[in-house]
Structure 1
Amino acid sequence: MTPKPQIGLIGLDFDWTLMNHNPGGPKVPPETIGILTELCEEGIFCGLASGRYWWEMRDELAAQGLPWGDPFPSFFCTRETFIYWVGLDALEPDVEWNTARRAEMRELVHQISERQTAWRLSLEAAGLHPKRWWLWGDYGLEVNMGNPEDAQRARLVLAELSAELPLAETHRNGSLAHVVLTTATKGGCLRHAAETRGLRPDQVLAFGDSANDLSMLDGRFGLRSATMANGDDEVKAAVRANGGWITEGVASTGIHELLHEFRLRGWYA
């Protein structure tokens, strides 16, 4: 990475990163809305990387006074897999990327479907009893274990069970353990999105708070990274190891804190 950041693209996790779900205040404060709007207008690509469906994020942001694509977000990665750019009148999919990922996703989901009964029995044999179990056709396997500790234990078991599948990797998000598409991931999406706009990976700044954000925070894709005061300890350790930043503010307050500091330092491309 270059010593001085020259950020041209910013990727934000959604829940507990951009959106602060603590009661009693705005989920996205006006100053964060303001700086994201300004950066988009100045030509910095600012977008979202989430497991959520895009229309869920659109509706949540509209409730916070942030109209979708006007001008934020410039782009989004939905289901941690599929990339879209937000145009004036329509979404502009990254057709080549999305088509390839959909084909791989179909294969991965088929492979999981053939194994999921045995996997569930293996979890139960290890003393792990899923609360809910979903196999999503556009995402992969999602297992609700009820608490983060059991979710991490389940993730490790699933990692062993899915090791024979070249398209699979595992991660955890809160109380959920996942088997997802290794050729996608939030970090992979952000790197590809940047490349399509002529940007190097080290010109990307990613923000996240949870273990399912690690692919864009731990340096494996060459991205710069940040987390907030509410980030998981595992995430903070990964960001430190990547030479990144940890804000004093929580969620979107911390995002504004760091984006404003970057502006004062002249760290945008």
Structure 2
Amino acid sequence: MIKLLSTDFDGTIVDHEATPRVHPDFFTLLAQLREHGVLWAVNTGRVLWHIEEGLRELEFPAVPDFVLTSEREVFHRGADGRWQDYGDWNARCAEEHARLFSKASVLLADIEEYLAKHTKAHPIYEGQRLIGLAAESLDEMDEIVEFLARESKRVPGFQFMRNTIYVRFCHEAYSKGTALGELGRLTGISRDEIFAAGDHYNDLPMLDGRHAAWVACPGNAVEAVKRTVSEAGGYVADGVCSAGIVEALRHFRAGE
């Protein structure tokens, strides 16, 4: 029943505090699923070069069929083995974000001023454009998120994605969830055939049941993720990171 796996990377598949950092059972189960034609997408907040670096560093015995990067872009592996845009989604995404950031110039300037005056957070730029920030602590990020949630309403379509102490500014129409929906459209795989798993706030858009019928999170997920997964009829695992994802997949396969 499941034809596509969409998994977050850090904190969901990869446990940076463990040895090995991915439980061997994950790759064993993945190999079994692939024998039945199941595809695997890594759906991450990392940019493309950073996820490529992570895959090389960890020397995975299996390479994903797709990478969904920056919480919004969609790539597939080309004939030459390199990651390539899949369809025109990435081009449309870039155009929409360019227009959004242009409309949000005053808001972004106000965010910069707030960070400088009231926090120890570090702004993150792409060229001259403010695209996100890194807080000094989780408590500081909680306060910053309250400010952003209030101020972002000034610009229609302006949104932000949080992952631990990091925030990325984005267009509300582009997220891990909508990128997964586009991947499903491009591959002809329906929502009812998609499994999604994640552990943090930026994973919420792919875990609320809109883009994947089968949703799960590991035991180390933040409470907001556990609550969203439960409300979507998904599985909250006890196991940490990849061990929890194996647990969830076995649970769903047992019910097929």
TM value normalised by structure 2: 0.88
Q: Does 1:7 align with 2:9?
A: no
Once the two structures are superposed, the pairs formed by residues 251-266 of structure 1 within 5 Å of their partners are 251-265=241-255
- What 5-or-longer segments of structure 1 have no aligned partner? 1-5
What is the correspondence of 1:1-269 to structure 2 with a 5 Å cutoff?
6-23=1-18, 25-66=19-60, 70=62, 72-90=63-81, 91-122=83-114, 128-136=118-126, 141-221=131-211, 223-265=213-255, 267=256
Q: Displacement, 1:113?
A: 4.2
Please state how far the C-alpha of 1:29 moved relative to its aligned partner.
2.1
Query: Which residue type is aligned with residue 156 of structure 1?
Result: E
Displacement of 1:175 in angstroms is 1.5
Q: Which stretch shows the higher mean deviation, 36-45 or 192-201?
A: 36-45
Assess, with a 3 A threshold, how the Cα gap between structure 1 residues 253 and 140 changes in structure 2: closer, same or farther. farther
The one-character-per-residue Cα deviations of 1:101-157 (angstroms, maximum 9, x if unpaired) are 0101212233444432322334567xx4042001337x9732222222321221221
CA shift digits 1:46-68 (9 cap, x unpaired): 1111111233323323333315x
- 1:130–1:144 CA contact under 8 A, matched in 2: no
Q: Percent identity?
A: 28
Q: What is the CA RMSD across the aligned residues, in angstroms?
A: 2.3
Pair 1:135–1:159, CA change in 2 (3 A): farther
TM-score normalized with structure 1 length: 0.85
2:130 and 2:112 mapped to 1: Cα distance? 15
